[in-house]
């Protein structure tokens, strides 16, 4: 075959893997040996040597065709170069066979190009051979990545071979056509392998060989124009080589290699921690970001002269490679942290508009398929929530243990913004808010699920915490006030931040608040209760026995100043009601009974005590003004000297306190010691008033006398009789 171009012969490029070796004998040596064979076999001439060369060439071509470019590109290039040289020697052999020489030409070293020595010849055939010997081989052009020139030569040789086939040149020797066609195909395959190598090197190297990319794009375009339609079955000449598809496959393979190499030294499944996985994903994101920036800024301009969809192809290739890598990581993800890191990276890092570092490089959301399939995404969220439920329960256990350590150590609580403060509310609020916010960054569905998990865990935690605290030795005004504040804060802040989503939290928080308030009142009652025993006694008439009691009240009220105002007011009113109730109970259940002047003194002392109690609680901020008339009303009945006015005082007492009962009236009359008939008249009159008061009593009435137990005594029985 003749090369379509001539030129000065250049040095043959050696394989980068092994030193260059002589692959064929020089033509002059082959001629000398053939002459000897001719003298030995005078009847055969040149045929044995030519047939032997053809068989050797065919076997070599078959062996070369079995090598994959990916395994040994240098071997493919050397095999292709050898086949092309063999093809030229076969032509040279045909020329020589057509013009035998009588005597052997003396051998003389001459300039060798591609292993073929030059030989003096006459005629047109010798001139063509000389031009071919001086030109570069197709293999050399491919090696030097002069793909356009290489394709032009291959296309010329392919056209000549098709013409020879059409003219039935190979009728007598069909194997010659097969060898030449196979040689062409091997060179085409070599060009395809070089295209793949150029694509891989474009991302793996520091810079970008724009000339090589431009050659690649141009040769793909030329091949598509040259091979537009498929040939008949079995004819592999002039058939489309699909180099554009080969280029896309090379881009896809290159992206997969780059993505798989990212973070190769990190083993995310070695432990349940998320740091290794986060490092791997950070490296992966960095590789994808740098490579796509390189594609847009350096590689895409090299393809501008063609219609190659460079950006779209690389973008889809990397997207597919990242999706495949994430699926592999998802299979090995362990624990709540790793699952969240994986979901967060897919949703917020990779899916971020500025992932690639520039607004014009944002990943499109519509054309690309989802990074993770919906079924896989749902499975990851489900696994994450399962781990999360266990983790949140464990976090609440840790909060309880931390509070218990404070109780055992007897740590003093802080006063924050005038209120007793415990870290409980901050710990719980941060725990819930942190996980809900993190889940919301991934999806609204995961946020709602996480909120429900937190609500369920908190509903179980509050009763456990309440029980553990009340069973400890740390129960005091300080801690009770702090935990009342914490429950109120959690109730208001969580419901305000997540309205309508965690209403089930209100019930356990309200129950805990009421229980803590109840125990706070019990502490006050236990301190004050013993001081009521000295009331309404002989000593009480002459001593100020109420002052120590009110001092206890004032001390307790100082703690209430550091409790949330609404609950502090409720607690103060309960203490106010408790003091009035216990005072009246002590009067109605006296250890001693007064008569005459002592009864009048006792009535006066009760009025003074009532005024002192009212003033004290008013000064502390109590709004329970309805309690102010209870003690004075009883005192007026006991000290009234004009007996007819007792009826009026009883009417006032019943109207002011409709929860009063008949036995309370009997106890008061027993203390007053009126006559039998007057007592009967008063009891008869108050009976109708009591009945009317109970019937007209509102549902949310105040309770005072209803909680005062009055035992039946002999005096009361006498009064009843």
Q: Give pLDDT tens digits for 613-638.
A: 999 999 999 999 999 999 999 999 99
- As a whole number of angstroms, the distance between CA 192 and CA 644 comes to 126
DSSP 8-state code for residue 234: T
- The pLDDT, as a whole number, for residue 712 is 67
Domain residue ranges of the chain, discontinuous segments joined by +: 138-229+236-241, 254-372, 385-525, 533-720
Q: Please state, rounded to an integer, the average pLDDT across all residues of the chain.
A: 79
Q: Do domains 385-525 and 533-720 have the same CATH topology?
A: yes
How far is Cα 613 from Cα 551, in angstroms, rounded to an integer? 11
Distances (CA, A) of 237 to 76, 79, 81, 152, 231: 20, 20, 19, 15, 7
Longest CA–CA span in the chain (Å) reads 174
pLDDT of res. 95:
34
By C-alpha distance, which of 57, 117, 62 is closest to 92? Answer: 117
Q: CA-CA distance, 27 to 96, in Å (whole number)?
A: 10
C-beta contacts of 684-692 below 8 A and 24+ residues apart = 685/647, 685/650, 686/650, 686/651, 686/654, 686/662, 687/662, 689/650, 689/651, 689/654, 689/655, 690/654, 690/660, 690/661, 690/662, 690/665
Query: Per residue in 97-108, is it b (16+ CB within 10 Å) or e — as a string?
Result: eeeeeeeeeeee
For 12, the token pair is 């043959």
Backbone angles phi, psi at 116, to 5 degrees: -110, 120
| Span 32-75, pLDDT tens digits | 333 333 333 333 333 333 344 434 443 444 344 333 334 344 43
Domain 385-525 class in CATH: mainly alpha
668/682 Cα distance (integer angstroms): 11
Dihedral, CA of residue 680, residue 686, residue 692 and residue 698, to nearest 10:
-140
In degrees and rounded to multiples of 5, residue 592 shows phi and psi of: -135, 150
| pLDDT for residue 117 | 34
H or E, element range at 56: helix 47-65
pLDDT at residue number 69? 39
Taking alpha carbons only, the member of 622, 619, 613, 614 closest to residue 572 is 622
Which residues does the chain have with pLDDT short of 50? 1-126, 129-130, 133-134, 270-271, 714
pLDDT confidence of residue 469: 95
Written as one string, the DSSP assignment of 405-423 is HHHHHTPPPEEETTEEE-T
What is the pLDDT at residue 365? 57
| Percentage of the chain exceeding pLDDT 70 | 76
In CATH, what is the architecture of 533-720? Orthogonal Bundle (1.10)
Distance CA 311, CA 420 (A): 62
Distance CA 189, CA 243 (A): 10
Distance CA 321, CA 255 (A): 6
Give dist(CA 59, CA 64) in Å, integer. 9
DSSP string, 575-598: HHHHHHHHHHHHHHS-SS---THH
Give the SS3 label for residue 117: strand
Predicted confidence at residue 594, as pLDDT, reads: 84
pLDDT tens-digit series, residues 411-429: 888 899 999 999 999 999 9
For residues 176 and 170, is the Cβ–Cβ distance under 8 A?
yes
Does the pTM of the predicted model rise above 0.85?
no
Determine what percent of the chain is predicted with pLDDT higher than 90.
44
pLDDT number for residue 717? 54
């Amino acid at each position: 075959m003749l090369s379509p171009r001539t030129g000065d012969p250049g040095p043959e490029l050696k394989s980068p893997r092994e030193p260059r070796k002589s692959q064929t004998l020089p033509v002059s040596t082959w001629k000398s040996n053939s002459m000897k064979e001719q003298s030995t076999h005078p009847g055969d001439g040149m045929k044995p040597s030519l047939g032997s060369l053809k068989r050797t060439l065919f076997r070599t071509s078959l062996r070369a065709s079995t090598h994959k470019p990916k395994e040994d590109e240098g071997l493919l290039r050397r095999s292709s170069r050898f086949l092309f040289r063999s093809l030229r020697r076969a032509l040279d052999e045909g020329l020589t066979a057509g013009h035998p020489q009588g005597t052997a030409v003396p051998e003389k070293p001459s300039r060798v190009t591609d292993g073929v020595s030059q030989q003096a010849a006459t005629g047109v055939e010798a001139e063509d051979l000389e031009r071919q010997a001086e030109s570069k081989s197709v293999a050399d052009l491919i090696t030097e990545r002069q793909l356009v020139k290489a394709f032009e030569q291959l296309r010329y040789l392919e056209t000549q071979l098709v013409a020879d086939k059409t003219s039935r040149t190979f009728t007598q020797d069909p194997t010659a056509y097969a060898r030449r066609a196979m040689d062409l195909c091997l060179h085409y395959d070599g060009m395809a392998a070089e295209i793949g190598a150029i694509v891989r090197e474009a991302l793996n190297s520091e810079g970008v060989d724009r000339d090589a990319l431009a050659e690649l794009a141009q040769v793909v375009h030329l091949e598509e124009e040259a091979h537009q339609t498929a040939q008949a079955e079995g004819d592999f000449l002039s058939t489309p080589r699909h180099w554009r598809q080969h280029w896309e496959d090379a881009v896809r393979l290159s992206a997969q290699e780059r993505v798989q190499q990212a973070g190769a030294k990190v083993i995310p499944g070695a432990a349940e921690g998320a740091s290794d996985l986060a490092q791997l994903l950070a490296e992966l994101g960095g590789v994808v970001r740098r490579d796509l920036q390189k594609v847009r800024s350096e590689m895409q301009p090299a393809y501008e002269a063609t219609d190659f969809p460079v950006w779209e192809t690389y973008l889809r290739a990397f997207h597919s490679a990242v999706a495949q890598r994430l699926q592999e990581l998802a299979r090995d993800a362990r624990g709540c942290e790793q699952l969240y890191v994986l979901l967060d990276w897919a949703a917020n890092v990779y899916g971020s508009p500025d992932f690639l570092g520039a607004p014009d490089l944002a990943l499109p959301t519509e054309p690309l398929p989802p990074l993770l399939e919906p079924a896989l995404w749902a499975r990851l969220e489900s696994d994450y929530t399962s781990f999360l439920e266990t983790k949140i329960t464990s976090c609440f256990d840790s909060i309880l243990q931390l509070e218990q350590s404070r109780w055992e150590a007897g740590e003093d609580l802080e006063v924050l913004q005038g209120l007793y403060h415990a870290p409980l509310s901050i710990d719980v609020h941060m725990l819930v808010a942190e996980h809900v916010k993190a889940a919301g960054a991934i999806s609204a569905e995961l946020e709602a699920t996480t909120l429900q998990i937190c609500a369920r865990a908190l509903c179980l935690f509050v009763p456990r915490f309440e029980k553990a605290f009340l069973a400890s030795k740390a129960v005091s005004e300080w801690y009770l006030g702090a935990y009342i504040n914490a429950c109120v804060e959690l109730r208001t802040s969580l419901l305000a931040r997540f309205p309508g989503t965690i209403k089930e939290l209100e019930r356990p928080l309200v129950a805990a608040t009421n229980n803590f308030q109840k125990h706070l009142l019990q502490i006050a009652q236990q301190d004050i209760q013993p001081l009521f025993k000295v009331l309404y006694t002989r000593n009480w008439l002459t001593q100020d026995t109420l002052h120590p009691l009110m001092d206890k009240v004032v001390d307790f009220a100082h703690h209430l100043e550091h409790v949330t105002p609404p609950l502090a007011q409720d607690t103060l009113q309960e203490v106010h009601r408790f003091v009035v109730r216990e005072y009246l109970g002590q009067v109605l259940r006296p250890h001693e009974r007064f008569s005459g002047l002592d009864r009048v003194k006792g009535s006066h002392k009760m009025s003074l005590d009532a005024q002192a109690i009212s003033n004290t609680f008013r000064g502390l901020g109590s709004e329970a003004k309805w309690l102010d008339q209870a003690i004075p009303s009883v005192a007026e009945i006991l000290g009234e000297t004009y007996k007819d006015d007792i009826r009026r005082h009883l009417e006032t007492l019943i109207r002011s306190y409709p929860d009063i009962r008949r036995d309370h009236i009997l106890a008061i009359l027993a203390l007053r010691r009126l006559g039998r008939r007057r007592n009967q008249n008063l009891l008869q009159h108050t009976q109708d008033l009591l009945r009317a008061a109970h019937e007209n009593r509102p549902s949310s009435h105040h309770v005072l006398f209803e909680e005062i137990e009055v035992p039946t005594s002999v005096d009361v029985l006498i009064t009843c009789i």
